[in-house]
Structure formats: structure tokens, C-alpha cells
């Protein structure tokens, strides 16, 4: 019998993946700013642990990295549609303590955007024998993005109905079948479903990593909206009440920690962008926190430090990332220990 463990993000990691922007991605019109942001993320990851960069042109990316380039950075040349490694990268679980890379279908968040190149990156990477201690498991009949599920590391998954029940992902399956499938493949005993919560400008149908995140086995931080005039107020209040209703395996409520709502951010056309502090990345000894050069950044940094007292909180300006409707967690994917 196989024992399956889906580690939480704070589990010890071997490596993090970035899929690098190129001039055919949607960041083309702000390409230099996007590269600058990616270089900052690459620097902060690679000085702490290994970094895998998926890129179209290795030499070009090495030149862009410049003095950041170091022996912790590995490259894999492969074409891509875009940069969202969280959603086209593999999700790693342990089968009897051995790492297995789950390779799901990525279909551009319900066929909203091109995805033909992104959805085969993991297969190409595994076929290249980059991973010698982890095997790929093909789930080519199921659409799932890494940003849509959260694990607390002890058998609880947190997700949203808007995303996982989207008819543009797995239209042949209803909620009970999806929940059973998730429990089976992730070794979970509980799936916590949020019916409410969204951010305007989000293309993912409410990925959980934009709204609420586990920070330890029994603590969830989440985006809180206190402005009754904000269009998010009712939905995020309803989400807050749902979170308050959830209980742990021993029947106790979760410890809930609200994160501030980022003041409205807009693109060049006046459309609101999905800026969120919930889109942070946990590393072995640090947390990379997206910030947006606004008056709530300091409060978010302070809250993160209380949530992760033993980790360094590293703020990273992600204003360019939200121009394409994602943020820091969305462009990264961690590989837990044992993959390398």
C-alpha cells in the first residue's frame, strides 16, 4: 500500500522553478521591467537555495542575470507561452517517502489564453533526465493548477469552488468526484471548499493562493476587506465567515490572521488589477512577499514577520507582475527535499 504525503510549502525544499519571460510572452510591452523583477526574485532565491530557470534562450537570460548568476542556478531551455510556473509546473508529493512529480493538464485557466507550450514543459523536463530521484506521474486527463490548492501538510486541502468546479476545466466531473480524486492522489482526509472570495482582474477563477494560505498546520492567513465601499467587500466578508466556520481534524477552529487589502491598483486602461499580499512564497529560511509601493506594505511585512518569526521576510516589488494579473507566488514553483 502506498502512503501519500502532500507536503506544505514550508516543508524543506531542494529548489524553486521560474519560467523566464521572453519577448513573445504577454509581458512583451513591459519586458525590461518584467526581467528586472524576475532578476530580483532569482537573486533572492538563489542566494538561499537552488533555482531552476526554464527559458527560451539560456545565454540571453545569463546576460540579464549578470552578477546574480551563481552555481545555485540551473537552466533548462524550453519554449513557453508565458511565465506562470505555479500553474504549469509539477506538483510534488511523496509516495512512501519518495518524491513524485504530478503532471496535470494546464489549459490556460479554462482556455482563456494560449497554453500549448506551457502544458508540456514538465514532461520535457522529466524526459531530459534533469530529475534523477523523482518520477513523473502523468495526469493528462485532469486539469489542475498549483495555485488552486493549498496543503497544510497533514492531510487538509484548501481550495475554491469557482476554480475547481469551473466547467472549462473538468466538465465531466462533479464536485463529489473531484473531491474524491483529490483525496486519493494527495493522501488527504479533508477538502475545505470556499464558495466565496474573488479579486477583480484575476484570470484564474479565484485561485486560493490569491485569497487564503496555510502558514502552519492550523493557521490560515487571508485577504480581509474592511472598506464597505470596495466592490470586494461582500464577497471577502462572506469568505471570512466561511473560514471562521472551518474546523481542524480535532474540531477546533483554525487560527485566522487577516492580511490587509492592497489599495486599488489599475492598469493603463483603468482596469483594476488583482494585487494581493497572499501571493507570497515560502522558502527554507525566508518568505518572499509581494509588495506594491503603497501604504499597506509595511503592515503586510509586519504581519508576515509575526507569522514566520524564524524566517527572513523579503519584500519584492511586484507591480509589474500584476499588470498581467498574477504576482510572486504565481511565477514560482517549489520542489521539496528529495527531488534532486
Residue 277 to residue 290: CA distance in whole angstroms: 6
Residue 297 to residue 263: CA distance in whole angstroms: 10
- Is the whole model's pTM more than 0.85, yes or no? yes
Which residues sit opposite 73 in a β-bridge? 51
Residue 80 to residue 220: CA distance in whole angstroms: 33
Which residues sit opposite 55 in a β-bridge? 77
For residues 130 and 339, is the Cβ–Cβ distance under 8 A? no
Q: Which residues contact 171 (CB under 8 A, 6 or more apart)?
A: none
Q: Which residues contact 148 (CB under 8 A, 6 or more apart)?
A: 87, 159, 160, 163, 164, 204, 207, 208, 209
- Domain range spanning residue 148? 4-336
pLDDT, one tens digit per residue, over 45-87 is 999 999 999 999 999 999 999 999 999 999 999 999 999 999 9
Reading the block at residue 107, the C-alpha cell is: 489549459
Q: Is the pLDDT of residue 303 over 90?
A: yes
b/e sequence 207-246, b meaning 16+ C-beta within 10 Å? bbbbbbbbbebbebbbbbbeeeeeebeebbbebbebbeeb
Percent helix, percent strand, percent coil in the chain, to nearest 5: 30, 25, 45
Q: Which residues contact 176 (CB under 8 A, 6 or more apart)?
A: none
For residues 85 and 326, is the Cβ–Cβ distance under 8 A? no
Q: How far is CA 197 from the centre of its chain?
A: 17
Residue 23 to residue 29: CA distance in whole angstroms: 8
What's the mean pLDDT when you consider all of the chain?
A: 97
Q: Output the pLDDT for position 232.
A: 97
Q: Output the pLDDT for position 12.
A: 98
Reading the block at residue 94, the C-alpha cell is: 511523496
pLDDT, one tens digit per residue, over 240-254 is 999 999 999 999 999
Q: Is the pLDDT of residue 1 over 90?
A: no
Complete edge-to-edge strand list for the sheet that includes strand 135-143: 4-5, 91-95, 98-105, 135-143
Q: Is the pLDDT of residue 212 over 90?
A: yes
Q: Output the pLDDT for position 215.
A: 98
Reading the block at residue 330, the C-alpha cell is: 504565481
Task: Tell me what the mean pLDDT of segment 204-210 comes to.
Answer: 98
- Number of independent structural domains in the chain: 1
Q: Output the pLDDT for position 18.
A: 98
Longest dimension (CA), the chain: 55
Task: Tell me what the mean pLDDT of segment 290-297 comes to.
Answer: 98
Domain with 152 in it: what CATH number?
Answer: 3.75.10.10
Residue 71 to residue 13: CA distance in whole angstroms: 17
Residue 195 DSSP SS3: coil
Amino acid at each position: 500500500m502506498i502512503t501519500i504525503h502532500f507536503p506544505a510549502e514550508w516543508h524543506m525544499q531542494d529548489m524553486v522553478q521560474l519560467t523566464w519571460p521572453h519577448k513573445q510572452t504577454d509581458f512583451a510591452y513591459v519586458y525590461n521591467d518584467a526581467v528586472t523583477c524576475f532578476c530580483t526574485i532569482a537573486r533572492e532565491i538563489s542566494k538561499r537555495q537552488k533555482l531552476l530557470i526554464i527559458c527560451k534562450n539560456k545565454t540571453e537570460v545569463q546576460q540579464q542575470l549578470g552578477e546574480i548568476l551563481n552555481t545555485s542556478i540551473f537552466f533548462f531551455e524550453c519554449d513557453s507561452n508565458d511565465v506562470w510556473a505555479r500553474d504549469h509546473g509539477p506538483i510534488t508529493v511523496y509516495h512512501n517517502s519518495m518524491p513524485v512529480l504530478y503532471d496535470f493538464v494546464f489549459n490556460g485557466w479554462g482556455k482563456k489564453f494560449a497554453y500549448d507550450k506551457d502544458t508540456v514543459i514538465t514532461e520535457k523536463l522529466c524526459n531530459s533526465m534533469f530529475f534523477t530521484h523523482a518520477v513523473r506521474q502523468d495526469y493528462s486527463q485532469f486539469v489542475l493548477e498549483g495555485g488552486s490548492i493549498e496543503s497544510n501538510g497533514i492531510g487538509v486541502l484548501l481550495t475554491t469552488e469557482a476554480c475547481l468546479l469551473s466547467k472549462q476545466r473538468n466538465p465531466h466531473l462533479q464536485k463529489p468526484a473531484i473531491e474524491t480524486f483529490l483525496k486519493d492522489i494527495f493522501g488527504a482526509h479533508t477538502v475545505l471548499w470556499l464558495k466565496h472570495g474573488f479579486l477583480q482582474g484575476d484570470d484564474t477563477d479565484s485561485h486560493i493562493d490569491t485569497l487564503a494560505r496555510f502558514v502552519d498546520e492550523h493557521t490560515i492567513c487571508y485577504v480581509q476587506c474592511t472598506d464597505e465601499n470596495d466592490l470586494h467587500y461582500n464577497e471577502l466578508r462572506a469568505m471570512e465567515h466561511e473560514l471562521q466556520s472551518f474546523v481542524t481534524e480535532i474540531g477546533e477552529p483554525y487560527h485566522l490572521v487577516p492580511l490587509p487589502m492592497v489599495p486599488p491598483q489599475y492598469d493603463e486602461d483603468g482596469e483594476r488589477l488583482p494585487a494581493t499580499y497572499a501571493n507570497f512564497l515560502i522558502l527554507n529560511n525566508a518568505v518572499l512577499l509581494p509588495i506594491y509601493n503603497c501604504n499597506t506594505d509595511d503592515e503586510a511585512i509586519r504581519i508576515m514577520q509575526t507569522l514566520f518569526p524564524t524566517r527572513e521576510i523579503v519584500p519584492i516589488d511586484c507591480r509589474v507582475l500584476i499588470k498581467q494579473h498574477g504576482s510572486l507566488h504565481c511565477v514560482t514553483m517549489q520542489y521539496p527535499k528529495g527531488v534532486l
